[in-house]
Structure 1
Amino acid sequence: MIAWLDLLAEGDRHPRRFDSPETLLVYLTRVERLSPEAAQHLIELGEVGPPLARREYQVRALPLPSSVQT
């Protein structure tokens, strides 16, 4: 079962959902145009903002349902 990651960006009411840190990293650097340093900071610590990024971002892992065995 995949543990989904939700990306919350300042000013955006709807999170973007990713299936792995790797796909999130590609999105952050290509679409959001974060520096590799800012993207890695976000993935490792769960949030980043100025001065590393132009706006605030948060990443939240969705918990696996308790009824699903992994």
Structure 2
Amino acid sequence: MTYLTPENIGDREIALGFNNLELLCLNCHNKKTFKAAQPDRILLSILMEALSITPLSFKSGAAKW
């Protein structure tokens, strides 16, 4: 498996090649991609961004990210 880098992103075999695919469940993907980040929080952030939702912020600080 060859990971994408700025140097090889233009190589179609690396960027789009079937032999360079890695199948991961969401939890494993998040662990690998985001290392020590919290998968549930990451998924929520991705979904909110995709749906153009912004988190509510309260003066009390209860809804802080």
TM-score range, shorter chain: under 0.3
Q: Which has the larger radius of gyration?
A: 2
Indicate the structure with greater strand content. 1
Indicate the structure with greater helix content. 2
Higher relative contact order (CA 8 A, sep 6+): 1
The TM-score, its normalising length taken from structure 1, stands at 0.25
The TM-score, its normalising length taken from structure 2, stands at 0.26
